[in-house]
Structure formats: structure tokens, C-alpha cells
Amino acid sequence: MGPLTLAMAELEEKKVLELVRKAIGEDKSPLEIVEECRQGLKIVGERYATGEYFLSDLVMSAEIFQEALKVLEPFLSVAAVFPENPGEADIVFGTVEGDIHDIGKNITISLLRCEGFRVYDAGVDIPPDIFLNIVQETGARVLGLSALLTSSFESMRRTVQLIRMLPPVHGVKVLIGGLVNERVCQYVGADAWVREAMEGVAICRRWLGMKVLVSKK
Amino acid sequence: MKPEERQEQMFLSWLSGKGIEFANPQAEKDYKERVMRLKEAIQLKGPPDRVPVCPLTGLFPVYYSGITVEEAMYDYDKAADAWKKYVLDFKPDAYVGTVFVPPGRFFEVLDYKIYRWPGHGVPPDISYQFLEAEYMKADEYDTLIQDPSDFWLRSYFPRIFGVLKPFAKLAPFTEVLEMVMTCGSFIPFGLPEVQAAFKALFAAGEEACRWAATGRAVDRALQGRGFPALVGGISKAPFDIIGDTLRGTRGIITDMYRRPEKLLQALEAVVPLAIRMGVSSAGAAGHPLVFMPLHKGADGFLSGKQFATFYWPTLRKVIIGLIEEGMVPFLFAEGSYNSRLEIIRNLPRGRTVWLFDQTDMAEAKEILGDIACIAGNVPITLLTLGTADEVKEYCRRLLKTAGKDGGFILSSGVAIDNIRPENMRALIETAKESGNYF
Ligand code: B12
């Protein structure tokens, strides 16, 4: 395990950022740096699964990763997409209207960005029409929706309905996560559902192909 | 006066029913029996006649009486009728009051930003919901620590109440000193926008008075019929005060890593405020129990070390501060507290109530039983989806384990909203049928 992976796994933010800057200075490939961070995030996830880490640690790990990405952003060939500059995105991701739970969303976005996907984080409590606008603006082919409240399944459904009204050329697929299951997936009309971030990443990889990762050495 | 004498005095004030007009002698007798039952369960001086049963109702009375949450929040009389109907129909040993239906119009007048409620973002029959955000910024810790009230007034209010935005223009009150250092602080009161904000405050205050008057009438009516209120006052753990509505979940978590010293200072700064809040609210009600919902201390959320560093020390100070004033903190431990039981044992005996949600109740009895009255924990999933027989079966098991030798109040694990009435009945009846100690 490299020092960057270790610092990430130990949630040492300052050290992570220092090591990232140092690696950039040494002309290391940005994607390699991202990969080291991701290994660290994976360890965090494992420690959470075994009960060694807690929700607080998960939240912090996503936070540190976002900070590392900000440092790396100018050097990435596939720029991370931030709300300040929508540009093009592969995936639009957000929490549906009426719901502000975003811990799971943020973790999943971190992992997707690790994989090199350009993810647009739409934020929380996003009405259907805003989702539609963002999907059109960014040309994203995957829409990731998060919901943890039973009462927000309805807005999830309305969002999917709106997206389905786009002409077929867009071919937008909808992936949902959070407190969802097969019944919810059918009810809202999504293409797939997950309860776990890594499964979501695997699905996105399947849907979007690995095109982004080929640039990795 | 020693804390235990103060506590006894508070209990006697509650027990006396002073100021209550009882409907008849039987009602008075019932009232006193019910308070006595709770007093004995809490003080751990030997079991009461039977296990008290006090469901933690949230909006149950609203759903049960067939009105919407919106109606309850806007038509105070309807809420009042709903509460009376619930209590008189089900006869719990104590009831949770109408504080769970805050007045919609009040929040409209102030353009309250941090919740949605029926008619304002959620449908008529759904509960109000908190909209978490960083209503206090990471770099505002010093402002909060130096002068909490000033922070609340001039920084926090303008963010959470749209109408009070002009309060950001007010001057700090502590700059009023000598004659020549006085007038300047009052200039903001001359600004039209500030004056408009104050006019809205008057209107909000009038609405709050109307709402409170209905709440008091409900209390008078129910107590007059022999039913005591479950709690007298309310307060919160310092970590939740800062983590819930100020910094938010993500904010306070990152602060533990990025600025632990500031967070610890801020937690200390709000300790006296939390004690004051509990003492003044319970004191005014003449009722020792201070309800304290605990949010972010649950298993899984913070590590054991984080709990011992950031959550527990200041919560304990608030608990002790309340106990010294004769109050009985009623701690509602949401989620599970299995890994916290040893550490929270460090409290004086017979001075607190711990209502558990998903905590293992046999374990809680074992570890905490000689220190505190425990309460709970009929699962909300069972109450929502189970049958009445299943509810009774669960309650009977609880009475055997957690209820052994007193020190137990039968209740739900979380606040009850929309469950089938027969399950509520099953919960309450089981205590009366199977909860006798003698
Ligand atoms: C933390 C929390 C909060 C925090 C949220 C902080 C934040 N910034 O997110 C606060 C305190 C603000 C909050 C508020 C409320 N909450 Co809340 N909350 C929780 C809690 C404890 C944890 C949720 C969480 O973050 N889990 C950890 C993450 C990592 O897991 P996750 O979200 O499932 O995500 C994973 C996967 O699902 C996946 N994923 C998630 N989304 C997506 C999307 C896609 C596309 C993909 C691929 C993957 C993916 O990635 C993650 C990693 O694997 C849950 C209880 C619980 N244990 O679940 C209640 C819970 C969700 N809350 C609940 C409720 C009721 C509320 C409130 C309504 C309470 C109130 N009356 O105010 C409000 C609602 C506010 C609102 N409008 O949304 C209920 C929901 C009940 C229901 N069925 O409707 C729960 C279940 C608690 C309960 N048992 O009552 N809450």
C-alpha cells in the first residue's frame, strides 16, 4: 500500500492533499494518483463494512476525496464536472425533490469520478424539470437518482416520466439508489436499482463502456 | 437544597396537580395514581403498582382522528379535539402534548426556511420535514463562541426566517454603554426594513400566543380528566444543537476532523444554554421531566472515541446541570445505543429516564437497570405492519426482561405517526393486563 492510499484510508486530509500535490510535481499521471486515492477509499469502505469505521468516517472520506479531486482537476484529461461549469457529463446525479439525504450520493459520486466518469452533481432536493434541463444541457446518458424517503418515491417517478419524454436518440438510462428495491424500481420506471455504491459503478461501467478508463496507462 | 430534595419538590409539584380543575374525585385519584406510578418507576425506590405505559405519540392523534397534518397545523381547535380524542379513547398513563403540531401560520408569517410542511412543499397528510444545510458556516465558530445570543439573533435568524433578514443589520446590544455610546446601536431600528421585520415578529408572536392558548386548554382538559402530561420541558444535547440545525450532519462531521478544538469550545459554550432551556421550560410547567431527543450519538454514526470526546462530555454536563436543579432528563436515544450503555452509566441513580429505540433492552436493563429507569422500545415497524397479537407478544416479552422489578416505562421505540388503532390499543392494554408488580 502506497503512502497516499494509506493516508486516504486513515482519513488524514492534510497528508492526502500534500501527497497529491507532491505526486503532481513529480509528473505522476493524474489517473494513477486518482487510483491510489480510490484504493484508499476502498479500504475505508471495507473498514465500514466490518464495523471498524463509522458513518462519520465514510462522510469524511468522501469529503477528502472531493478535495483531492479539486487539486487534480486541472491535470485530468477527463475533467471532473463541477456545478460551476456544467460542460459535458457522462452522468448526472442527484437526490430527488423533497429529499435532502446526500451522504450516499456523495460517496457514489466520488467512486464514479475515481473511475474516470464525468459526473455532474446536481445536488439535493431537485425537481423533475431541473433534472430534465441538466440532462439535456450536459448530454449525459445516465441519470443517477438517490432517495431515502418513502415520500420521495413519487418525485422520483415523475422525474423518470419526464426523462422518458426525451426523444429516443438521447437514450438516457436511469439508475436509482438509496432505500430502494425492485418494487420501487418498477414503480418509478427506472432501468436499474442498487443498494450499494460499487454495484452502481459496475452498472455505469456496463452502460457507458470503459471508454474513459482507456486513457489510463 | 440538595438535588434530591429539589427533585422531590418538583415531583410533588407535579403530583399535587395544583391549578388543575378535576372533573370529579375519580379523575383526581387517577391523575395522582398515574403520576405516582411514573415517579416510582423513575426513582428506582421499589416498583410501582404496575408498569406505566406512555406511547411516544408524534402525529398519531392527527391520523387517528381522521384529519390531515395540514388541518392540525392550521386549525388549532381540530388539533385540540384530536388530542382529546386520542387520550380519552386509549387512556395512556401520560400523554405527549400538542407540541408536535407546530402552528403553520406562524411559520408562514416569518417565512421559515429550514423545514417543509403541508402546503409548503409536502402534501397535506405528510409530516413536516427538516431541510438540512449549513445554516452556520465553518468559519463562524468564533462568532458563536464569543456571543451565542448575538450569533443567533444577527446571523442565524436572518438565514432561517426570510422575513428577519434585516436583523443582520442590527447592532450588537453589548455596545450600549455610556450615554455617548448608546444611540448608535439604535440607528438600525429606524430603518424601514428593520421596522417591517419587527412588525412581522409581532404578528408571529400573536399567532404563537393563539396556538399556545389552545395547547394549554388541551392540557387543562386532559389533566382535569386524570391524565398527566409525559414531559414538562425540553432541551437538546450540545452536539445535536450544533450538528442538527446549525452546521448540519456533514458540517459537524467534517468539523470533528478539521477543527476539533473550535467544535469542542462551541459545545462547551452551549452547555449553559441547554441547561437554561430545560430548567425554564420544565420549571414553568411545574413538571420535572425534560425531554431530550438524542440524534447524532447513536451507534454507527460516531465511533466510540468520537462519542466519548465530542458527544458525551457536554451531554453529561447538561444532564447533571438539570439534575442539580431538580429536573429529570428524559433522554430519547434514537437509533441504537448498545455500544454506549457502559459510558452513559456514569450518572447518579434514579435521576434520568432513557427511552431506547433499537437498543437491546435486556442488555440495557442489565447494564443500566440499577442507575436509571429505561423505557421503550416497541419497534415502529411492528406497530406499523404487525398484527395486534404480535404487538402484545412483543410487549409481554419486554415486560419480562426490561420490566423486571420496576424501573421501566412501556413505550414505542420512536414517535408514532400513522399506525392502526388496534396496535396502539394492544400496546396500552398489555401494560394494564400483564404489567402488574403486585
Ligand atoms: C443521516 C440521516 C439523515 C440526515 C441526512 C444528512 C445528509 N446530509 O444526508 C438528516 C438528519 C438531515 C436526516 C433528515 C431526515 N430524515 Co433521515 N436518516 C439518516 C440516516 C440515519 C442515514 C442515511 C445515510 O446517510 N446512510 C448512509 C449512506 C452511505 O447509505 P445510503 O444513503 O443508503 O447510500 C448507499 C447506497 O444506497 C448507495 N446510493 C445511495 N444513493 C444512490 C443513488 C444511486 C444512483 C446509486 C448508484 C447508489 C446510491 O450509495 C451509498 C453507499 O453504498 C437514515 C437511517 C438509515 N440508517 O438509513 C435516516 C432516514 C433515511 N431518515 C428518515 C427520515 C424520516 C428523515 C426526516 C423526514 C426526519 C424529519 N422528520 O425531519 C428528515 C428528512 C429530510 C429530507 N427532507 O430529506 C427515515 C426515512 C423513513 C422513510 N422510509 O421514509 C430514515 C430511514 C430513518 C428512520 N428509520 O426513520 N436524516
A65 has a pLDDT exceeding 70: yes
Cell numbers that stand for B274 in this block: 441547554
CATH of span B3-54+230-434: 3.20.20.210
A212 has a pLDDT exceeding 70: no
SS3 A96: strand
CB contact under 8 A, B302 and A56: yes
Closest chain A CA to residue B296: A56
Residues in chain A, overall count: 217
DSSP string of A58-74, one letter each residue = HHHHHHHHHHHHHHHGG
Within a 10 A sphere around the Cβ of B209, how many other Cβ atoms?
A: 10
Q: Which residues of B touch A11 (CB under 8 A)?
A: 257
Given this model, what pLDDT does residue B91 score? 97
Q: Which residues of A touch B116 (CB under 8 A)?
A: 98
Place of cell 456533514: B250
CB contact under 8 A, A59 and B256: no
What CA–CA distance (Å, rounded) separates B102 from B74? Answer: 9
At B222-232, the pLDDT tens digits run 999 999 999 99
Of A214 and B365, more confident: B365
At B389-399, the pLDDT tens digits run 999 999 999 99
Place of cell 419497534: B379
Structural contact between residues A31 and A217, judged by C-beta atoms closer than 8 angstroms = yes
What CA–CA distance (Å, rounded) separates B144 from A88? Answer: 41
Query: Residue A76: which pLDDT band, with cuts at 50, 70 and 90?
Result: low
Instruction: Choose the weakest-confidence range: B124-128, B208-212, B216-220, B300-304.
Output: B124-128
Given this model, what pLDDT does residue B302 score? 96
For A66, phi and psi rounded to 5 degrees? -60, -40
Query: Residue A213: which pLDDT band, with cuts at 50, 70 and 90?
Result: very low
Of B345 and A107, more confident: B345
Structural contact between residues A24 and A71, judged by C-beta atoms closer than 8 angstroms = yes
Any CB–CB contact under 8 A between A123 and chain B?
no
Residues contacting B213, CB < 8 A, separation 6+: none
What are the start-end ranges of the E strands in chain A? 91-96, 119-126, 142-147, 173-178, 192-194
How far away, in angstroms, is B427 Cα from ligand 1 center? Answer: 28
When scoring B116, B130, B239, B250 by the number of chain A Cβ atoms within 10 A, the one with the most, hence best to mutate, is B250
Atom number in ligand 1 closest to CA B128: 71
Q: Which residues of B touch A54 (CB under 8 A)?
A: 300-303, 306
Query: Residue A85: which pLDDT band, with cuts at 50, 70 and 90?
Result: low
Closest chain A CA to residue B120: A98
A159 has a pLDDT exceeding 80: yes
Structural contact between residues B44 and B35, judged by C-beta atoms closer than 8 angstroms = no
Domains of chain A are 3-75 (1.10.1240.10), 91-208 (3.40.50.280)
Longest alpha-carbon distance in chain B: 75
SS3 B350: coil
Q: Of B126, B101, B128, B103, which Cα lies nearest the Cα of B115? A: B128
At B16-45, the pLDDT tens digits run 998 899 999 999 999 999 999 999 999 999
CB contact under 8 A, A54 and B300: yes
What CA–CA distance (Å, rounded) separates A95 from A124? Answer: 4
Q: Of B377, B370, B338, which Cα lies nearest the Cα of B356? A: B377
DSSP H or E stretch at residue B378: strand B373-378
How far away, in angstroms, is B286 Cα from ligand 1 center? Answer: 38
A87 has a pLDDT exceeding 80: no
Which whole-number Å values give the CA distances from B409 to B12, B25, B356, B428, in the listed order? Answer: 20, 26, 11, 11
At A123-134, the pLDDT tens digits run 999 999 999 999
- Ligand 1 binding pocket (C-beta < 6 A) is A 55, 58, 98-105, 107-108, 144-146, 148-151, 175-178, 194-197, 200; B 127, 129-132, 249-250
At B349-377, the pLDDT tens digits run 999 999 999 999 999 999 999 999 999 99
Given this model, what pLDDT does residue B371 score? 97
pTM for this model (two decimals)? 0.86
Given this model, what pLDDT does residue B438 score? 67
Residues contacting A183, CB < 8 A, separation 6+: none
Interstrand relation of B353-356 and A119-126 (parallel, antiparallel or unpaired):
unpaired
Indicate left, alpha or beta for A119 from its phi (over 0: left) and psi (-120 to 50: alpha): beta
Cell numbers that stand for B174 in this block: 453589548
Given this model, what pLDDT does residue A114 score? 74
Structural contact between residues B296 and A103, judged by C-beta atoms closer than 8 angstroms = no
Any CB–CB contact under 8 A between A151 and chain B?
yes
Structural contact between residues B21 and B340, judged by C-beta atoms closer than 8 angstroms = no
Nearest CA distance, B93 vs chain A (angstrom): 32
Q: What angle do CA B240, B244, B246 make, to 5 degrees?
A: 105
Q: Of B199, B297, B290, which Cα lies nearest the Cα of B240? A: B297
How far away, in angstroms, is A101 Cα from ligand 1 center? Answer: 5
Query: Chain B, 115-134: which have a CB under 8 Å from a chain A CB?
Result: 116, 121-123, 126, 129, 131-133
Q: Judging by beta carbons within 10 Å of its beta carbon (0-12, 13-18, 19+), is residue B276 exposed, middle or buried?
A: middle
The rounded percent of chain B whose pLDDT value lies above 90 is 95
Closest chain A CA to residue B114: A100
How far away, in angstroms, is A115 Cα from ligand 1 center? Answer: 25
At A178-197, the pLDDT tens digits run 989 998 999 999 999 998 88
Within a 10 A sphere around the Cβ of B157, how many other Cβ atoms?
A: 20
How does the average pLDDT of chain B come out, rounded? Answer: 96
Count, in order, helices (H) and strands (E) of chain B. Answer: 20, 9
B381 has a pLDDT exceeding 90: no
Establish, for the pair of chains A and B, how many residue pairs have beta carbons separated by less than 8 Å: 44
Q: What angle do CA B322, B343, B366 make, to 5 degrees?
A: 100
Given this model, what pLDDT does residue A115 score? 76
Given this model, what pLDDT does residue A77 score? 56
Any CB–CB contact under 8 A between B147 and chain A?
no
Structural contact between residues B264 and B310, judged by C-beta atoms closer than 8 angstroms = yes
Query: Residue A49: which pLDDT band, with cuts at 50, 70 and 90?
Result: confident
Question: Looking at residues B122-126, what average pLDDT do you find?
Answer: 88
Given this model, what pLDDT does residue B437 score? 85
Within a 10 A sphere around the Cβ of B208, how many other Cβ atoms?
A: 15
Orientation of helix B25-43 relative to helix B3-16, angle to 10°:
160
At B152-199, the pLDDT tens digits run 999 999 999 999 999 999 999 999 999 999 999 999 999 999 999 999
Given this model, what pLDDT does residue B323 score? 98
What CA–CA distance (Å, rounded) separates B228 from B39? Answer: 12
Given this model, what pLDDT does residue A78 score? 54
CA dihedral B37, B43, B44, B46 (to 10 degrees): -50
Q: Which residues of B touch A149 (CB under 8 A)?
A: 129
Q: Of B395, B421, B423, which Cα lies nearest the Cα of B82? A: B421
